[in-house]
A = this chain, B = another copy of it.
Amino acid sequence: MTISLRKARTIIRKTLDKGHELELKPLSVVVLDAGGHVQAFEREDGASPGRFAIAHGKAYGAIMLGMGGTAQMARAEQQAYFMGAVNGLFSGQVVPVPGGVLLRDKKGAVVGAVGVTGDTSDNDAAAAKAGIEAAGLTAEI
């Protein structure tokens, strides 16, 4: 099972809505499928040009390692050279901070990941969590 485009759209819209409600800076949101491939993305007006890469890096690391951004950041802080080596393996595509979130279905299987960037990492993660739960999925932040 992997995420559908319909679900991905819902996650993006609800994440952006939450950002507006919390008065965050303009957000960018990517949804990847269970294999780490882009399903949908939106970048709000006023966000900087590099935001696709950052959103993607947060979500891609979550898929490849099977860990949310919070757990990735803990590992990076304990063992910086391990996350450095991981980035070598994945061509520098992993951004190990909150805002990368695993999507799980009701049975606990990973069906994709979301990456949010634009405000603080913690606010990015909070918006992602709200968007994912509004779509009926479980967020592992």
Interface, chain A (partner B; CB < 8 A): 1-2, 4-5, 8-9, 33-45, 47-50, 52-54, 56-57, 63-67, 76-77, 79-97, 110
B33 near A39: Cβ-Cβ < 8 Å: no
A93 near B97: Cβ-Cβ < 8 Å: no
A89 near B38: Cβ-Cβ < 8 Å: no
Partner of A40, one of B1, B5, B41, B110: B41
Stoichiometry, as copies per complex, reads 4
Asked whether A81 and B57 contact (CB < 8 A) given A34-B35, A48-B63, A65-B48, the answer is no
Asked whether A89 and B53 contact (CB < 8 A) given A41-B40, A48-B110, A81-B83, the answer is yes
Asked whether A53 and B92 contact (CB < 8 A) given A40-B43, A42-B5, A97-B82, the answer is no
Nearest B residue to A34 by beta-carbon distance? B35
- Chain B residues with CB under 8 A of A42: 5, 8-9, 39-40
A76 to chain B, nearest CB (A): 5
Q: Cα distance A66–B92 when bound, in Å? A: 20
A89 near B36: Cβ-Cβ < 8 Å: no
Q: Cα distance A125–B54 when bound, in Å? A: 26
- Chain B residues with CB under 8 A of A79: 97
- Chain B residues with CB under 8 A of A81: 76-77, 80, 83-84, 96
Asked whether A88 and B89 contact (CB < 8 A) given A40-B42, A97-B82, the answer is no
